[in-house]
Amino acid sequence: MRKFILILFRVVVSIISLVIIYLFAIIILPLFGINNKKGKKLDDSMYIYILTNGMHTDIIVPVKTDIMDWSKIIPYSDTKSKKHYDNIAFGWGDKGFYLNTPEWSDLKLSTAINAAFGIGSTAMHVTFYNDIYLGENCKQIKISKEDYKQLVNYIKNSFDLDSNNKVRYIKTDALYGENDSFYEAKGTYSIFYTCNTWAANALKHANQKAPLWTATQQGIFYHYR
């Protein structure tokens, strides 16, 4: 009995220690930024955006440029509205969370556990926009076309394509509005690689300012104050 209590004590201490280390990492690591290009001239440039709902970060880019026409990959017809739009947002995340948790009140313990520990699969949430409103939750980023090409490749490589190299549309009623759709994605979501980690890595691939590592949207937006 004494040996069992000792083992249990060590397990509890180990778990508490890991939680403390994780929380410390969430607070400290995002403070260290990379790709700070303050003062860099961008003669050949365009704009992208980062958008948060308070928990999750999306990357917004133009639907059509001379570099990429996203409507050829993500058709407007996949949305309820079927309308044409000027901008497109990409958000990567846990598939179960996206499709089964329209509101926080709908969150199930099984969904949270699957998402936290990388048990479930992932999805790409795509949302079309016309007007972009800048503010605390939406920041504009000036980017060179060369760097945008890197961002395009990163986003495209996040989709789990079919045998014909086409995106795999997820038919679901769990949509957020008239202008969005879901697709199968690559990768595994966990507390160490969240939707915000994906977005931060997207900025890194595009040589934009980003936190060293983050699990939260605050870690990204800290560098765009």
pLDDT (tens digit, 9 = 90+) per residue, 88-120? 999 999 999 888 876 655 656 666 676 666 778
Grade residue 21 by pLDDT with cuts at 50, 70 and 90. confident
Q: What pLDDT does residue 3 have?
A: 72
| pLDDT at 70 exceeding the cut of 60 | yes
* Least confident interval from 30-39, 52-61, 112-121, 161-170: 112-121
More confident residue, 99 or 141: 141
> Does the structure show a pLDDT above 90 at 72?
yes
Q: Which residue has the higher pLDDT, 40 or 36?
A: 36
- Whether the pLDDT of residue 39 is over 60: the answer is no
Q: What pLDDT does 116 receive?
A: 65
| Separation of CA 125 from chain center | 9
For the residues of the chain, what is the DSSP string, one character each?
A: -HHHHHHHHHHHHHHHHHHHHHHHHHHHGGGSEE---TT---SSEEEEEEEESSS-EEEEEESB-SS-BGGGTS-GGGSSS----SEEEEEEEEHHHHHH-SSGGG--HHHHHHHHTT-S-EEEEEEEES----BTTEEEEEEEHHHHHHHHHHHHTTB---TTS---EE--S--SSSSEEEEEE-S---SSS-HHHHHHHHHHHTT--EESS-SSHHHHHGGG-
**Average pLDDT, integer, range 171-194:** 95
Give pTM, 2 decimals.
0.91
> Is the per-residue pLDDT at 134 higher than 60?
yes
| For residue 189, pLDDT beyond 60 | yes
Which of 31-35, 89-93, 217-221 is predicted least confidently?
31-35
Q: Which residue has the higher pLDDT, 171 or 39?
A: 171
Higher pLDDT, 14 or 166: 166
The pLDDT value given to residue 16 = 82
Kindly tell me the burial class for residue 39, based on how many C-beta atoms sit within 10 Å of its own C-beta (0-12, 13-18, 19 or more): exposed
Q: What is the pLDDT of residue 13?
A: 67
